[in-house]
Amino acid sequence: MATVTVSQLTDTLKQHLNLSAPDPEIKGAKPQQPDIAYQPDRAKWEARTARRLAANPSLPSTPLPAGFPKKLESPLVWEGSDWKDEKDWVHALTPSELDEIAGALKHFRGLDKPLGLVSQATFPLPTLGPVLAGIARELHAGRGFAVLRGIPVDAYSREEVVIVYAGVSSYVGNLRGVQDARAGGVLAHIKDLSALYDARAIGSPAYTTDKQVFHTDVGDIISLLALQTAAEGGVSKISSSWRVYNHIAAHRPDLIATLSQPWPFDGFGGDPPYTARPLLGYADGKLVIQYARRALTGFQGLPRSAGIPPLSEAQAEALDTLHFLAERYALSLDFQRGDIQYVNNLSVFHARDGFRDDEAHTRHLVRLWLRNEELAWQIPAYLDASWQRQYYALDPEKQVFALEPEIRSASQGVKY
C-alpha cells in the first residue's frame, strides 16, 4: 500500500475545501492582511473556519479567558424570534406628551441659551420625563433597546427638531458625546451623500446606500432620530451581543480569547497610525463589546492602511463570526419617520440593509451618542481615554449641532 504523507493529506484537505492558497498561519510566513473586506463573505468565513479547525481540532476545547463567564444570564440575552409585538419596545407619544414637548421647546427658546445647554433643567418634561427615565433603565438593566414614536418632524424647523431631539434624549442620557472632535460636533447625520462627494472622499457606509454590517458605535447609548425613511430598504436591525457571546463561548471559546486580546484599529493616517485594544471586555459582571468593522478592514475612501499590523486569521474568523451570528439572532425594527431609537451600545449590535431613495423619500437620520451617569456601566480600563475625550473634554456651551448633512472628520476619505 502506498504511503500517504501529512503534506499530501493537507493538500487533499485544502483542495476539498477549495483552499489551495498557502495557509497564512504557517510558521515563518510573512504576516499579511487576511482576505477579508468590509462586507462579510459567508463562503470565505465558512472556508476559513473549516481550515482552522482542520489545522487545530482542539480549538473548541480552549478554556475561556480568566474571568469570562461560560454563559450570561440576563434580559439582555435575547433572540429576534423572542419578540412578537412591537408594543413591548415602542412608546407612542400621546397628544398630551406632544403638547408637553412643545411647551418645553418654547421654554428653552425663551432662555436664549446655546443649544449645548439643552438639558433636563432647561427642557422641562414633568410627565414624559419619568417615562423616558424608564426607557433609560430598560436600556441598562432590561432588554437594551427602545423606540419613542411620534416626534412631529414636519411641525418644526430643523433647529427646533434638533432641540426637541436633544431635550427629550437628555432624560435618557444626560451627557452627549463628541462625534466630530475637529469641529466639536455632537450631532451626526446619516444620509447618502454619494451624489455630492466623490467615492474617494467617503470612508464610511453611513454616507452611502450600502448595507451597514453589524457593529457598535462609540460610547454607552446610541440614539437615532428618523427625519425621513427610504423609498425602499434601509431596514434597521439590532442583535444582542450577549446572545452572540453565549453561542461563541459554548461552541468556540478560542474565539472569545481572540476577541479579548488587542486588535490593531486603523488610524487612517492619524497619529498614532493605529491603536491596539480588545473588541470584547468583561467588567463588573457585564460584557462590553465595542468595535466598528471598517476600522479593521477599511471602507471605500479609507482603505486599510499599509504598514500597520494586519489582522490574524483567527481575528478574521472571529470578526465574521460576530457578524453572521448577530445576523442569525437579529430583530428588524419598523423604523418610522419621527421615531427615536435608543440602544445600549455596549450590549447590542446594530446594522441596516442597503436602500434606495427617490425624490419623495430620502433616508435621513440624525444621531446622538449618550451617557447616563446615574445608570452607566463600569467600562474596561482600555476604553477610559476614549470615554474621557468623548463625554468630558468639551464644555456644553461649545457643543456644535450641525443642522445640515456633512461627513464627519473621522469618516472623510482621501482628498481629490
* Beta strands in 51-203, from DSSP E residues, in sequence order: 90-92, 145-149, 175-176, 185-191
> What does the block give as the cell for 272?
498614532
Asked whether the beta carbons of 80 and 348 are under 8 A apart, the reply is no
User: Which pLDDT does position 2 carry in this prediction?
Assistant: 36
The pLDDT of residue 65 is above 80: yes
- The pLDDT-based confidence of 22 (bands split at 50, 70, 90) is very low
pLDDT digit string, tens, across residues 173-188: 999 999 998 889 999 9
User: Which pLDDT does position 145 carry in this prediction?
Assistant: 98
d(CA 82, CA 80): 5
Mean pLDDT of 75-87: 96
d(CA 224, CA 217): 12
Q: Is residue 44 part of a domain?
A: no
Q: Is residue 415 part of a domain?
A: no
Q: Is residue 383 part of a domain?
A: yes
CATH assignment of the domain containing 330: 3.60.130.10
Task: Indicate the SS3 state at residue 360.
Answer: coil
Q: Is residue 259 part of a domain?
A: yes
d(CA 94, CA 361): 26
DSSP class of residue 120 equals T
- Domain total of the chain: 1
Q: Is residue 216 part of a domain?
A: yes
Asked whether the beta carbons of 290 and 383 are under 8 A apart, the reply is yes
pLDDT digit string, tens, across residues 136-191: 999 999 999 999 999 999 999 999 999 999 999 999 999 999 999 888 999 999 99
pLDDT digit string, tens, across residues 299-349: 999 999 999 999 999 999 999 999 999 999 999 999 999 999 999 999 999
Asked whether the beta carbons of 202 and 411 are under 8 A apart, the reply is yes
Report the chain's mean pLDDT, rounded to a whole number: 92
Using a 10 angstrom Cβ sphere, with 0-12 exposed, 13-18 middle and 19 or more buried, the burial of residue 323 is buried
Q: Is residue 4 part of a domain?
A: no
Q: Cell 427646533 maps to which residue? A: 160
Q: Is residue 208 part of a domain?
A: yes
Domain that holds residue 289: 55-405
